[in-house]
Amino acid sequence: MKDHNLERLYDAHASGLFHYLVTFTKTEADARDLLQELFIRLARGVEMDLQSEKAFLYRLAHNLAIDWLRRRKVRWDSEEQLLKELDGGGQRAADPDAALLARGFADAMKTLPDEQRTIVQLKLWDGLTFEEIAETQGIPLNTAASRYRYALEKLRTLLRPLYEELQ
């Protein structure tokens, strides 16, 4: 892959890929290592064979993360990082209601099955389309959409009491 194209891909996608990898690794250092491995593979000439380069990159990141998890035989809970992001990177939010809502959301996300939680992450935080999510996860488009719908229904149910309390 040409250097300018690699640089363009990095500029356009590295931040989102990094956050996606953190959901698997739970640590920034491990996510950086996987991100570096991803771009080394690209530099060595991995052929991009999907219609969407974004979906291809997330698929490659997903595969690297799954391999990483298998090597360590440990699955860490990624919602602690999500909570830190929602709380402003570990800093206290100025609005106590916002902090309460962020904690409630993070707790609700923990209750979702892995398949639903990763799709919510890809859709809401990484901005992937359902087509890209389907390619990334290696699942049919309708499965990606239905898992997202089920996740949102569960989140609504779990967060409704908190929302009503804050009103």
Residue 166's pLDDT is what?
72
Q: What residues does CATH 1.10.10.10 cover in the chain?
A: 95-166
State how far the Cα of 106 lies from the Cα of 84, in Å rounded to an integer.
9
Matching CATH number, 95-166, of 2.140.10.30, 1.10.10.10, 3.10.129.10, 3.40.50.1820: 1.10.10.10
Q: What crossing angle do the helices spanning 3-25 and 79-86 adopt, rounded to 10°?
A: 110
State how far the Cα of 39 lies from the Cα of 36, in Å rounded to an integer.
5
Q: Indicate whether 160 pLDDT > 80.
A: yes
Span 1-17, pLDDT tens digits: 567 788 999 999 999 99
Is 0.85 surpassed by the pTM of this model? no
State how far the Cα of 51 lies from the Cα of 53, in Å rounded to an integer.
7
Within 8 A by CB and 6+ apart from 39, the residues are: 6, 9, 10, 14
Average pLDDT over every residue of 117-134: 86
Span 49-82, pLDDT tens digits: 667 888 889 989 998 988 887 766 433 344 455 5
Residue 29's pLDDT is what?
87
State how far the Cα of 48 lies from the Cα of 31, in Å rounded to an integer.
22
Average pLDDT over every residue of 19-48: 87
Do residues 23 and 82 touch, judged by C-beta distance below 8 A? yes
Average pLDDT over every residue of 122-141: 86
Q: What residues does CATH 1.10.1740 cover in the chain?
A: 3-72
- Mean residue pLDDT of the chain comes to 80
Tokens of 79: 């919602």
Q: What CATH number does the domain located at 3-72 have?
A: 1.10.1740
Residue 74's pLDDT is what?
39
State how far the Cα of 139 lies from the Cα of 53, in Å rounded to an integer.
17
Residue 16's pLDDT is what?
92
Q: Cα 94 to the chain's mean position, in Å?
A: 26
